Amino acid sequence: MTTWYNGIIKKIEDASPTTKRFWLEVEGVDRFDFKAGQFITMDLPIGERRNQRWRSYSIASAPDGSNTLELCIVHLDGGLATNWLFNEATIGTAIKFKGPDGTFTLPESIENELVMVCTGTGVAPFRSMIWEVFNQKIPHKGIHLIFGTRTADGILYQKEFEELAQKMPGFRFSVALSREEQEGCHHGYVHGIYQTAYAEKRPDRSFYLCGWTKMVDEAVAKLIVEMGYERGQVKYELYG
């Protein structure tokens, strides 16, 4: 039986010119349990039919034993859901949702090096996973987060990840900018970073991909067909 919860927006912050961070407090529970990488599905007042109203968003915060979740959401031109969230929802707005759901999560034991490749708000589940590893001191063989966006003002959680790289052994953070050049960033798409860094195929490496369909499809083809990695070494979640 599906459990529906009532959430109240407690805080909203701009994350980039097109992206906002929303903090949702779940009513009626002291803690909301989920696995890092999972998502919730909101029932928004934007239509009559279920397929018009339901929208799923990955939880960007790590499980912390509280009843508050963070979501990182990009505004889509003409998108009914994001138009409502960005222009009508405010602090105190109630949102009905169900979940958590999804299997795009960390393995029970991290036996492989993890390479996380994302674009835009596809970083949300990875942020949850990385903080879970750090907070719980989970043993790992190295985590490399590769984030892609168009311009520097679209880099999400940049300062946070850069600081985390200084205090979390084995964690690396790389940025690809497709339409702008900036010192310290790769100029081009995310593919150029992992193709160069992981050209030598190894069986003890796993790739996690999250973002828009075009990026994920291209990455799957490059990793499996061009670079020779096994299909079981590549796991992904699509955003549109």
pLDDT in tens, 216-228: 999 999 999 999 9
Report residue 73's pLDDT band, with 50, 70 and 90 as the boundaries.
very high
Question: Long-range contacts of range 29-33, CB-CB < 8 Å, 24 or more positions apart?
Answer: 29/5, 29/67, 30/67, 31/65, 31/66, 31/67, 32/5, 32/66, 32/67, 32/68, 32/69, 33/63, 33/100
pLDDT at 240: 52
pLDDT at 2: 85
Domain locations along the chain: 4-101, 113-238
Domain 113-238: which CATH number of 2.60.120.330, 1.10.10.60, 3.40.50.80, 3.30.360.10: 3.40.50.80
pLDDT at 215: 97
Report residue 187's pLDDT band, with 50, 70 and 90 as the boundaries.
very high
Q: Find the mean pLDDT for residues 108-116.
A: 97
Looking at domain 4-101, what is its CATH homologous superfamily?
A: Translation factors (2.40.30.10)
